[in-house]
Structure 1
């Protein structure tokens, strides 16, 4: 409590300012305020100007003997940015060189260590590098996000070891994933993987789907950024199904941005494709994969309290509805029939009736590259 004679010891400056401002509002003059609170006119003026006291000015920084060597130390730290990782300067090595080569004296090892700990991250930032990566656990709302990726797998197809491509679309909230095997990772397999996944899930994520730089979707990465020049058919495909694409950072910097699907593909290989499946066709293998996807709904991811299926039951009603019309995932070609009564489609030869030699035809339509069946059907132009 403030008395009229003087300021009681222990009263903070904020309380003093509040008391001065209160009495000033009641009509007390500045001279009366200085006498009542035993303070100078400058203090009274400051209190009337602002209810919050101005911060105390910091004392000027004291010089250090290490300042004489700071430019040399900074240069060494900059050179270390391009040196082999295991052959860069430690603080001990820096200290030894400063003593021997620069004649440093009167500077302790701890002083140098503190300087390097402060200056090294600053030099990294000046060079456009991050001194350390901070990670925040991701949280996802139902039906808002999904992740897509391809992965290589090996199977015994008709008794022969064959390398195939595994497509995976994984919902980020529930962890429910749909998989599909294809002979290659071409654009048709990319589109077919999506349409199959949407049918299995019974809907489409209403937010975004995360991708890396798959050639099936991206024609060109613009700079070292998230900007992409999309393939025209991919843009039309996204427009048809009504979802947005989120492109992860190129290289190792973006690996964590869709870590869910990358971890899913590794888990799937280890748990369902070991030992190597022996099948007669890709269609047979995909039937097995469909059954495994249903079984996987019973497992828990990490320390989650509920199963994938239980989370998916919450998420599924929030997915967007599938469009009524079908998007043609195949490609149409119109090659010319050569003298051997064959047409060439993507470096593969297909026979057609001999009377079409020399004429241009609509190409044989590879109906299902995902099932391994390749029926041919041609029409005259």
Structure 2
């Protein structure tokens, strides 16, 4: 029996060779033979043939196994044809060359070849590069090591990330700016990859870095920056706002070649986006808002300063400490990344922005307002007064409505309250709590649907002047004692706020509210005295006996006694 070591050894050696490396077996045979063990005993000990023992004694280096002859496949008779097609692709336009799937389809349709797609795919992947080399064109991709000057260059890119936002899976855009020398990267998540997000991501990154790259910043041909690509050169027609932004910060932009041909020109940031997504967005983050998510992203960026890239001796943070002092200083004023527009509020007290609808207070219905659209939020102004602020919606054809904006109209139309879209959104966001619902139900039973709803609206108006948790605490306490008026809720909410501010013992304003023991009647004088913290009144009580004579009952009783 041969195992293929010297002239083909027995197959009985195969299991042993699979368990241990051939070099270790050879070393053991040579060691034991020097210790005086016979060759026959070595055969039995190592479960090998005599030829293997002799080969080990002749040389410490096992001979190379002869490769197995390649297995034939049904593709063999068509390989010359596939090679011909691949050679013709060298002269064809880049976007009109054969893919593995196209070759597979042609073999089946034009030559009735019964072949597997995976065999075709593997062969095409190997032969395409070989044919390029045979034609003297060299490999399709080559990599040249680069040396980066500290503080000089950076790369920018966007990537898609999936987030569970307020209980719903949405696809957002991850902005990344990476310093080429240190590998320090700053990220931020936006609802979209529009121009506002592109500019705001830069501002955030520069603020975190504490400066600007003094050299070139590499970009794709993003629509946020590039209006059109001029010919086959690197000349670009930039968008107006991007030109103003670059002028404000003094950025020197370098635009990569379009498509896959330019991907390697900023490979650092493309790899960084993928690494960040795999390491921090797996599993999918669950957040209530993008602001909450970006706080997590900032923490992740700080934590990543402790990692080492590749075989570097220093961490990202240590490398960035070298280049941070070399960055250019930031301008004194930040660039306003938002875009202004003007619009008339419709009869639903809403404005339409980028296919989505946002609410404003109903008193502004029909009036023209100013809108500042930013990457993360939308701010509405009446003149110079801010009247509404919303986080931008990540999708399309959606609505974000604030219940507070409709309260004045709901007082006149209380019947519209139960089915209001703004109410459902407030419930989903957690601002309209089960305590609100319980108090509302009790108020409607006590006062009727209309008056009970109006009482609830009066309670909701308290949110404009008091913290949410205090109003909820007031609702819970009022519900416990059956105080189903807005005044009772307001009083209990102020008591909860006072207890929290002065540190008095008792349950917190947002915890254990339903277990609070509250008196049925609360003295307003006592409440004011405690709030104003006046000293105790030590004066004696006044003598009221002289005034008793003025009472009719007392005066009539004395007259009767005198007449008797």
The answer to whether TM tops 0.5 is yes
Deviation at 1:323, TM superposition (A): 0.3
2:215 counterpart of 1:207: yes
User: Aligned partners of 2:314 and 2:225: how far apart in 1?
Assistant: 34
Verify the 8 A CA contact 2:369 2:381 in the aligned structure 1.
no
Alignment root-mean-square deviation, CA: 3.0
Verify the 8 A CA contact 1:175 1:308 in the aligned structure 2.
yes
With CA pairs under 8 Å and 6+ residues apart, which has the higher RCO, 1 or 2? 1
Q: Which residue of 2 aligns with 1:111?
A: none
User: Aligned partners of 1:158 and 1:357: how far apart in 2?
Assistant: 29
User: Aligned partners of 2:285 and 2:359: how far apart in 1?
Assistant: 32
- Gap change, CA 1:174 and 1:350, over 3 Å in 2: same
User: Aligned partners of 2:88 and 2:277: how far apart in 1?
Assistant: 44
2:115 counterpart of 1:84: no
* Counterpart pick for 1:120 among 135, 147, 159: 135
Q: Which residue of 2 aligns with 1:186?
A: 194
User: Aligned partners of 1:275 and 1:261: how far apart in 2?
Assistant: 22
2:406 counterpart of 1:379: no
Single out whichever of 276-285 and 223-232 deviates more from structure 2: 223-232
2:239 counterpart of 1:231: yes
Q: Which residue of 1 aligns with 2:316?
A: 308
- Structure 1 residue runs of 5 or longer lacking an equivalent are 1-73, 89-115, 125-129
- Gap change, CA 1:117 and 1:350, over 3 Å in 2: closer
- Gap change, CA 1:349 and 1:258, over 3 Å in 2: same
- Gap change, CA 1:179 and 1:77, over 3 Å in 2: closer
Verify the 8 A CA contact 2:132 2:139 in the aligned structure 1.
no
Q: Which residue of 1 aligns with 2:113?
A: none
* Counterpart pick for 1:137 among 145, 150, 164: 145
**Superposition map of 1:134-283 within 5 A:** 134-283=142-291
Deviation at 1:80, TM superposition (A): 6.2
Aligned length: 270
User: Aligned partners of 2:367 and 2:326: how far apart in 1?
Assistant: 52
- Gap change, CA 1:193 and 1:85, over 3 Å in 2: closer
- Gap change, CA 1:291 and 1:120, over 3 Å in 2: same
TM-score by length of 1: 0.64
User: Aligned partners of 1:79 and 1:178: how far apart in 2?
Assistant: 42
User: Aligned partners of 1:272 and 1:117: how far apart in 2?
Assistant: 40
User: Aligned partners of 2:384 and 2:202: how far apart in 1?
Assistant: 32
Verify the 8 A CA contact 1:188 1:330 in the aligned structure 2.
yes
Please identify the structure whose Cα radius of gyration is greater.
2
User: Aligned partners of 1:249 and 1:142: how far apart in 2?
Assistant: 25
Q: Deviations over 1:32-79 (max 9, x none)?
A: xxxxxxxxxxxxxxxxxxxxxxxxxxxxxxxxxxxxxxxxxx9x9657
Verify the 8 A CA contact 1:217 1:231 in the aligned structure 2.
yes
Q: Secondary structure at the match of 1:268?
A: helix
User: Aligned partners of 1:251 and 1:85: how far apart in 2?
Assistant: 17
2:367 counterpart of 1:324: no
Q: Secondary structure at the match of 1:240?
A: helix
Q: Secondary structure at the match of 1:333?
A: strand
- Gap change, CA 1:233 and 1:78, over 3 Å in 2: same
User: Aligned partners of 1:327 and 1:119: how far apart in 2?
Assistant: 54
Verify the 8 A CA contact 1:155 1:163 in the aligned structure 2.
yes
TM-score by length of 2: 0.44
